[in-house]
Amino acid sequence: MTRTNAQIKEQLRLPGQAAAPGGPLDLTGMYGMHWAFRRDLDRFVAAVTATPVGDRAAWQALQRRWDLFRRVLHDHHSGEDAGLWPALAARADEAGRATLAAMEEEHHGIDPLLDAVAEGLARMAAAADADARAALEVRVVAARERLGAHLAHEERDALQLMQALLSPAEWHHIERKYFQQAKSPRQLAEVVGWALHDLPPGALDRMLSPANPFRVVWQLFLRRPFARRERLAFRYAA
């Protein structure tokens, strides 16, 4: 079926993004998540490199912040593995199924790197250890490089499959079932604050309209507390 111009959605473009395949799906939320993952990894690399070994409060704040990053990424990857990739694989050709298999394999390769960074941050939060910091620098750079390569691969190839194989209604169903899991009010506040923090203004308007209740709550109650915690964790990051 040939799509008309009216069926081709203008896609969000953000710094660091590798591609934005055209099609009927509005993937603003997906690109916003990817941007936030890249934002975090750049800041963790800067913070791990620059934070003084003996500043236990800063390391403890970084440890808590990494736990949030890892939880959000785990939920995102779990939704892809459980719902999105299987839906695409059921319709994809051989090349498409190979792309989806690579997506799952890359997820499995990222998890040990995230665990290794968590272990390194826990060690730094417990005691000043220059050798542990040197090892942690290597681990967090490796995590950034591996996840960055995965996000770029996904944007170029897997999201192209989404645009080719899913209707907007099907994507909306997958989003609700696999990506919008039930969360406590505190968890939801954390994720909203995380996703919108430092988002470029134009992208913020694409993610949530000014009248959206989530945006109103974020502006009134979540934005400043989250920013304060960011300054504490990343106080030494350039």
| Lookup: tokens for 108 | 């499995």
Average pLDDT over residues 41-45: 98
Q: Picking from 38-42, 129-133, 173-177, 199-203, which range would have the lowest pLDDT averaged per residue? A: 199-203
- φ/ψ of 13, rounded to 5, equals -120, 125
pLDDT digits (tens, 9 = 90+) for 82-131: 999 999 999 999 999 999 999 999 999 999 999 999 999 999 999 999 99
| Alpha carbon of residue 27 to chain centroid | 14
Task: Please measure the distance between the N-terminal and C-terminal CA atoms of the chain and give it in whole angstroms.
Answer: 50
Q: What is the CATH number that goes with domain 26-181?
A: 1.20.120
Considering the chain, what is the average pLDDT of its residues? Answer: 94
- DSSP-derived letter for residue 3 is P
All structural domains of the chain with their residue ranges: 26-181
Say whether pLDDT at 26 is over 50: yes
The span from the CA of 48 to the CA of 236, in Å, is 9
Identify the band that residue 41 occupies on the pLDDT scale cut at 50, 70 and 90.
very high
Predicted confidence at residue 3, as pLDDT, reads 52
Supply 228's token pair. 């304060």
Q: How far is CA 68 from the centre of its chain?
A: 11
* CA pair distance 17, 32, nearest whole angstrom: 10
pLDDT cut 90: percent of the chain above it: 85
187 — pLDDT class (breaks 50, 70, 90): confident
Choose among 33, 13, 10, 8: nearest CA to 203: 13
d(CA 176, CA 233): 32
pLDDT category of residue 236 using cuts at 50, 70 and 90: very high
- Using alpha carbons, select from 219, 229, 200, 230 the residue that is nearest to residue 15: 200
Average pLDDT over residues 33-54: 98
- Mean pLDDT computed over 211-229: 92
Is the pLDDT confidence value at 1 over 50?
A: no
Q: Global pTM?
A: 0.94
What pLDDT digit, counting tens, does each position of 125-165 carry?
A: 999 999 999 999 999 999 999 999 999 999 999 999 999 99
Q: Spell 79-107 as b/e; 16+ CB within 10 A means b.
A: bbbebbbebbbeebeeebbebbeebeebb
Read off the tokens for 210: 């000014």
